[in-house]
Amino acid sequence: MLALLASTGACDAEARPPVTAASAPAPQADGRFAMSDVTTPPPPPPVRQIDRPNDAPPREPEKREVDKTLEASAASGDGAQSSTSAPQKNAQMLVYTARLTMAVYQVAPALDAIEDVAKSTGGYLSSRNDAQITIRIPRAAFEDALKKIESTGDVLHREISAEDVTDAYVDAEARLKNARAVRDRLQALLEKAAVKEAIEIQKELERVTQEIEVYEGKLKLMRDRVAFSTIVVDFQARGDAALTASPRLPFPWLGELGLPRLLDLQ
Amino acid sequence: MKKLRSAVLGLLALSSVGCHAFDMKTAPGFLELKNGSGSYVYRATTPEGVVVAARVESVEGEGSDSLAFWTRAFTLQLHDRDGYALTDTRDVKSLDGEPGKQLRFGHDESGKPYVYWVTFWARDHRVSIVEAGGAKTSFEAAQPSIEWMIASVHP
């Protein structure tokens, strides 16, 4: 029975888009593909790192057809929630992530300011602690949000990466399609099977159903990661050592200004 | 009592600059401190430790009445040298209509946010400076009173 099931999976494998030699499932000795081949996850896609010097302006990410599709999707408000949209053929799905390290005089107000940027651009707060904040921003507002964030303090380090998840998405989509086809065949077989065979088919059906749920989750996660870019900001309180030296004016009382002397009531 | 306070303030101001008397009213909720004020001609506090204090400094020389000069000097001293964050700059007027400047700063003290304002007027070769500061929450609660006190200044 399982060999029969395996052969049904093999038929679907031919309908899949081309995969690399490294990730292609190896045929068994009898020339057929095993069901377990369908579950093998593809290798992670390469991550492109874009490091720029501190004073360089933010580089405009490459505009691709998929970005426009996703921007329209994000703008219409169904970006991450939509489970119907699939990437167009030959379109690339890019996940943008920015990491900034900034020096500010007051960390808490700066954290509030970043949170406001997320809200004002249609994004949301992902996590926040005493010195770090992570926000998710609609892809279309990514550059605008970065500019606003960079104006809240001195940027010490800036790193922007674009991860191409197109291959992973297409592969997961094909595997999902195959798994659904297998499930349909199993269900058809189940209706005609004898009791002993029905138990085996039922077990296989449960496994394939779980597999489908896993792939659906992966696809949803990838769509969300593409539709909403991630910005992580680390703040460092600006210390005395970082302050600019300036010549002293001949007014000693200028040095008496400030909170310590003002608040000393003794 | 009020006359006595004005006389004391006047004497202190005159000893520092030798001309006009500096005057400022105390808002309800503040206690004016009469002794141990050091270089201040006026000082008052709330029970929560929000302090408003004034000093008058004599500065001779051409250009000493330039608000732009003192705005830059105070900013360099407090922002660039002492590390205060400049959050706002405002134009103000004294009780008799003299234009002045107000620099609003923020600063963390022992990990807690504090607010510090410097308001000043420059005329007749003297700079009248009103400082106000305190823990952010207490300061914000007392802010209307502080603004009222600053508006009552006769530099």
Split at pLDDT 50, 70, 90, the class of A247 is low
How far is it, in rounded angstroms, from Cα B116 to Cα B132? 6
Residue A11 lies in a domain: no
- B153 — phi, psi (to 5°)? -70, 135
How far is it, in rounded angstroms, from Cα A245 to Cα A264? 26
The answer to whether residue A202 scores a pLDDT higher than 50 is yes
Residue A254 lies in a domain: no
Interface test with B, best of A243, A262, A265 (most B CBs within 10 A): A262
Split at pLDDT 50, 70, 90, the class of B54 is very high
Chain B contact for A27 (CB, 8 A cutoff): no
How far is it, in rounded angstroms, from Cα A259 to Cα A23? 65
Show the domain range for B132.
2-151
Average the pLDDT over A45-51 and give the result.
Answer: 42
In this prediction, does ipTM exceed 0.90?
no
The reported pTM is 0.43
Show the domain range for A204.
47-52+63-78+88-239
Which positions in chain B touch A253 (Cβ < 8 Å)? Answer: 39, 55, 57
Helix (H) or strand (E) holding A146: helix A142-150
Task: Give the tokens for residue A203.
Answer: 């077990």
**b/e burial code for range A152-188 (CB count within 10 A of at least 16 → b):** bbebeebebbbbbbbbbbbbbbbbbebbbbbbebbee
Residues of A numbered 246-265 whose beta carbons fall under 8 angstroms of chain B's beta carbons: which are they? 246, 249, 251, 253-259, 262-263, 265
Largest distance between two CA atoms of chain A: 102
**Separation in Å, CA of A104 to nearest CA in chain B:** 8
Tokens 């009020």 sit on residue:
B2
Total tally of structural domains belonging to chain B = 1
Chain A contact for B30 (CB, 8 A cutoff): no
- DSSP for B52-107, please give it: EEEEEEE--STTTT-HHHHHHHHHIIIIIIT--EEEEEEEEE-TT--EEEEEEEEE
Using CB atoms, which residue from B81, B108, B113 is nearest to A243? B81
Which CATH number goes with the domain that contains B18? 3.40.1000.10
Total tally of structural domains belonging to chain A = 1
| Beta strands at A228-237 and B31-32: parallel, antiparallel or unpaired | unpaired
The pLDDT value recorded for residue A38 is 36
Quote the percentage of chain B above a pLDDT of 90.
Answer: 58
For residue A103, count CB atoms less than 10 angstroms from its CB and return exposed for 0-12, middle for 13-18, buried for 19 or more: middle
Closest CA relative to residue B72, chosen from B118, B40, B41:
B118
Across A27-36, A135-144, B14-23, B57-66, the highest mean pLDDT is recorded for A135-144
